[in-house]
Amino acid sequence: MSASGVFAEPANRLALARGRQAMDGQARVFRAFADAALRADDPHEAAGLAQIAYAYANRRHPGFMSSPPLERLLNDLGRTHVPGGEARRAGNGDGPERVLHVTTQVYATGGHTRVIERWMERDDTRRSTLLLLRQEERLPASLRRACDAVGAPVISAAPGDLLERACDLRALAVAHDAVVLHVSPFEVVPALAFADPAGRPPTILFNHASQHLWAGIAGIDIVASLWELDAADAVARRGFPAQRSLVLPLPATPRALPDRAAARSALGLPAEAPVLLCAASPYKLDPVLEPSFHDTVAALVARLPDVHVLVAGPTPDLGLVPDHPRAHALGPVPDIGP
């Protein structure tokens, strides 16, 4: 069904109107935080209020993808309080290049964690380092294995205020030949750390959260996206130069998997039944428009008498998957390969 067809439904037109009204209100709150940051005389207060604005927008979308006033503020704060220096090659030409991967948090499930793993596994001619800015959980076993396999040290950022942490990040970054940011969209520390281009190593943002408002566009040299739509969106909706918005597919590392019969048996599936798979965080399947994800799965199992639908992410109690013997809510699945 086309977008115009979806919004021909009265219930969906009402949902769209409510959504727009909600985003208008959320935009006003975001701009109030942003205005307070712009008025602040103290640099720590300004950076903190900018962080609050972006954190709010991460949960309550304001309807736009970049904030030029806050970008200018963070860039000015970074250039003033986290100044650059003379450019230098980290390895001095006598060893493999070093790449610093920076992330806010990693999780047992989630695309950006897999991207870090696959990037390090495939970048085997360089030395990788992983920096965790705000990690609250144990490092996932799969990421620990990936780091151990390539000899990548894992560093947790030291506590401190935003400007202190930005200075620490800058100091670590200049000991590397390139930086890859896998950070949350609300994270302002890299924006402060990389505002000054003087001596900054090439900085790549991996676009794992294209639907969110981003902080720190001005301190990024390249945006790397998994597919063309996200790469085009970075240009059209964020004002990023087209020649620096690139598509970078990262295929999975080949490994041994169970054969078809063994995999089906382990999942309790008939040998020849058609199978559909969805993998998503539960909030991405919440009902917004009609038909909802729940309605779609219910229609599939009703109309196709042999089909089984597997949904990795939501648990049965959430009600996002219909209660049906051929609709399976599997809950979080750390490894969907098998």
Give residue-wise pLDDT tens across range 33-75: 999 999 999 999 999 999 999 999 999 999 999 999 999 999 9
What pLDDT shows up at residue 94?
Answer: 66
245 has a pLDDT exceeding 90 = yes
Q: Among the listed ranges 89-93, 246-250, 273-277, 304-308, which one has the minimum average pLDDT value?
A: 89-93
253 has a pLDDT exceeding 80 = no
Give the pLDDT mean for 20-39: 97
Residue 128 and residue 150 in contact, taking contact as beta carbons nearer than 8 Å:
yes
What pLDDT shows up at residue 2?
Answer: 64
Q: Both ends of the chain: CA-CA distance in Å?
A: 32
Return the percentage of the chain with pLDDT > 90, whole number.
79
Average pLDDT of the chain to the nearest whole number? 92
Give the pLDDT mean for 281-287: 94
Residue 59 and residue 26 in contact, taking contact as beta carbons nearer than 8 Å:
no
- Ramachandran region, residue 97 (left: φ > 0; alpha: ψ -120 to 50; beta: rest): beta
What pLDDT shows up at residue 92?
Answer: 55
Rounded to 10 degrees, the C-alpha dihedral 325/326/332/337 comes to: 140
Q: How confident is the model at residue 216 (pLDDT cuts 50, 70, 90)?
A: confident
Asked if the peptide bond before residue 249 counts as cis, ω within 30 degrees of 0, the response is no
What pLDDT shows up at residue 335?
Answer: 80
85 has a pLDDT exceeding 60 = yes
- β-pair type (127-132, 154-156): parallel
Dump pLDDT digits (tens) for 295-327. 999 999 999 999 999 999 999 999 999 999 999
Dump pLDDT digits (tens) for 147-188. 999 999 999 999 999 999 999 999 999 999 999 999 999 999
Q: From CA 124, how far away is CA 193, in angstroms rounded?
A: 27
Q: From CA 267, how far away is CA 312, in angstroms rounded?
A: 12
What pLDDT shows up at residue 5?
Answer: 79
What pLDDT shows up at residue 110?
Answer: 76
Both tokens assigned to 58: 């991460």
292 has a pLDDT exceeding 80 = yes
